[in-house]
């Protein structure tokens, strides 16, 4: 599907405009403390002309044939856009974790690192994260590394999604 830049896009959000819309695809996950897994995912970025995007993502674990096995992570938040591609991401997870991220966007790439991670009493110990989103030949590719459960910053997720 062809992507048209919305007329009312806030200029601060220009460097991340390519993210707008709905994306679906598949990813793989790993971590030193768990078994490898595969997942499907839908990402939705929307805007209303103000200098932020609303973001929502749902994932589900898949088997070797790509069939849905069970629901997995849900995360939602606000990507706030400032001058020169600078962004903030406020992100909340269904697992009792809320994060503040800082990042920079340019040339179809968005890189983010956590500034703060807040966890509920029942949440797993997640202390930091790094995310890279890239527009690669009109596909969205991302990678997520986390420092969690006593491990240093280590890959947990990587995925490739197409515009729906």
Helix, strand or coil for residue 80? strand
Residue 116 within binding range of ligand HEM, rule CB under 6 A: no
Residue 114 within binding range of ligand HEM, rule CB under 6 A: no
Residue among 50 and 124 whose Cβ is closer to ligand HEM: 124
HSE, side-chain direction, 13 A CA sphere, residue 99: 26
**From the list 16, 79, 81, 146, which residue makes contact with ligand HEM (rule: CB under 6 A)?**
146
Helix, strand or coil for residue 137? coil
The CA distance from 109 to 111, in Å, is: 7
**Burial environment of residue 122 by CB neighbours within 10 A (0 to 12, 13 to 18, 19 or more):** exposed
Q: How big is the CA angle at 16 (ends 11 and 20), to the nearest 5 degrees?
A: 100
Q: Footprint of ligand HEM on residues 49-78 (CB under 6 A)?
A: 59, 61, 72-73, 75
Residue 33 within binding range of ligand HEM, rule CB under 6 A: yes
**From the list 16, 79, 87, 148, which residue makes contact with ligand HEM (rule: CB under 6 A)?**
148
Query: Is 4 annotated as belonging to a binding site?
Result: no
> Which residue in the shown chain puts its C-beta closest to ligand HEM?
33
The CA distance from 50 to 11, in Å, is: 9
> No. of H helices and E strands in the chain?
0, 10
Residue 124 within binding range of ligand HEM, rule CB under 6 A: yes
Query: Is 124 annotated as belonging to a binding site?
Result: yes
User: For residue 66, what is the enclosing H or E element?
Assistant: none
Question: Which two three-digit tokens encode residue 111?
Answer: 């890189």
Query: Is 156 annotated as belonging to a binding site?
Result: yes
Q: Cβ 21 to ligand HEM, closest distance in Å?
A: 19
Residues found near ligand HEM in the complex (CB under 6 A) = 29, 31, 33-34, 37, 39, 41, 59, 61, 72-73, 75, 93, 97, 124, 126, 146, 148-149, 156-157
Binding-site residues for heme b sit at: 33, 124, 156
């Amino acid at each position: 599907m062809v992507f048209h830049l919305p007329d009312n896009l806030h200029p601060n959000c220009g460097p991340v405009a390519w993210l707008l819309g709905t994306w679906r695809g598949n990813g793989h996950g790993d971590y030193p403390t768990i078994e490898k897994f595969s997942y499907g995912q839908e990402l939705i970025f929307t805007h209303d002309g103000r200098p932020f995007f609303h973001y929502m993502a749902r994932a589900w674990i898949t088997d070797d044939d790509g069939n849905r096995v069970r629901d997995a992570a849900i995360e939602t938040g606000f990507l706030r856009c400032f001058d020169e591609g600078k962004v903030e991401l406020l992100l909340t997870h269904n697992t009792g974790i809320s994060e503040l991220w800082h990042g920079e966007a340019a040339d179809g790439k968005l890189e983010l690192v956590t500034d703060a991670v807040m966890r509920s009493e029942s949440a797993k110990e997640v202390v930091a994260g790094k995310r890279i989103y890239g527009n690669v030949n009109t596909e969205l590719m991302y990678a997520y590394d986390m420092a969690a459960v006593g491990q240093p910053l280590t890959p947990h997720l990587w995925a490739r999604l197409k515009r729906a």
